[in-house]
Structure 1
Amino acid sequence: MAKAKKAGAGAADKVQVILKENVDGVGKANEVIEVNIGYYNNFLRPKALADIISDDEVEQVMVAKRKEELAQKKQEAEDLASAVKNLGDIVLLRKVGKGNQIFGSVTNKQVIEEVTKKSGGKVQLSAKMKWEIPEVSGLGEYTAYVQVHPEVTVGIRLVVKEQ
């Protein structure tokens, strides 16, 4: 006759740990995982690969990791903004009618294409970013703004010339 398993059995056999190093097939350094207590006691602890971690400590690790991710995204946005600034003026060639009025309008997609061309594909902007394109009706210089991050906006100087 098979023995009935106790309610909740197995749950007590697990423990939350934070890995100190990458462990093949288990996880990466600073990752919080749940492992069998035996695996922790017989393998991870003797080799100093992990430490037991409480729920409060897990929360602290997750908050710190999130802050680090946000800081990294902001830094990437600042690097992108710097790369856009370093491109200089973006020249847009347009057909011109009477009174130096251009045909059509200037869109963010056109600006994106010109930025990509000028950078050789190294600077990638997206139409999903928040754009402020001035109403361009004639030849001249204008400034378009793109928000590459909630805290980082960059101005792109547009020079509209006759084709």
Structure 2
Amino acid sequence: MKKKIKIILKKDHLNIGQKGKITNISPGYAFNYLIPNNIAEIATKNKIKHITMFKNIKNQEIKAYENTSKILQSNLEKIKKINIRKKVGKNNNIFGSINEKDITNKILKYIGISIDKKQIKVDNIKKIGIFNININILHNIQYSIQLNITPENI
């Protein structure tokens, strides 16, 4: 019977697994290839405890992020449309353009929650009209809001 040793992967490896995985490997493979190439390290009791602690912290952060995103989604559902008033020039063109910062400021004003501008996807808007904007709440959840650009009365 072959004796195997426990190792912790420092990098993703095609045959063994992803970074942070604890697995049993033959000693020759570990000492001759994985450890010298800085792909893995020997798993001690403290290192295993350390990795499980970091995995638990990461899972808690993911759960907290999911909870805040659910709150954000429920608050965004209260907003049906966003109105922005801009000065108008010729051919219904507005001065400047509408960007993510304008929209995040309006959402902050309406619901009191700050959204990262990276979560908002806006095309280049330079005219008066009605547009749809997409807000990426989570990596798989998107929310669409109607954006009304109206002329400012002078």
As a proportion of its length, which structure holds more strand?
2
Q: Which of 95, 99, 103 pairs up with 1:103?
A: 95
Query: Kindly, what percent of the aligned residue pairs are identical?
Result: 17
Query: By how many angstroms is 1:58 displaced?
Result: 6.8
| Kept in 2: contact 1:145–1:153 (CA 8 A) | yes
Q: Which of 81, 85, 102 pairs up with 1:89?
A: 81
Query: Given the two structures, how large is their TM-score scaled by the length of structure 2?
Result: 0.57
Q: Does 1:112 align with 2:101?
A: no
Q: Which of 122, 136, 152 pairs up with 1:147?
A: 136
- Tell me the distance in 2 between the aligned counterparts of 1:155 and 1:76: 18
- Tell me the distance in 2 between the aligned counterparts of 1:63 and 1:126: 26
Count of residue pairs brought into register by the alignment: 108
Q: CA RMSD in A?
A: 2.5
- Tell me the distance in 2 between the aligned counterparts of 1:92 and 1:149: 26
In the alignment, structure 2 segments of 5+ residues that lack a partner are 1-44
Query: By how many angstroms is 1:59 displaced?
Result: 5.3
2:11 corresponds in structure 1 to: none
Aligned pairs for 1:1-163 (under 5 A) are 63-119=55-111, 122-127=112-117, 129-163=118-152
In the alignment, structure 1 segments of 5+ residues that lack a partner are 1-52
Query: By how many angstroms is 1:108 displaced?
Result: 0.7
- Tell me the distance in 2 between the aligned counterparts of 1:57 and 1:117: 45
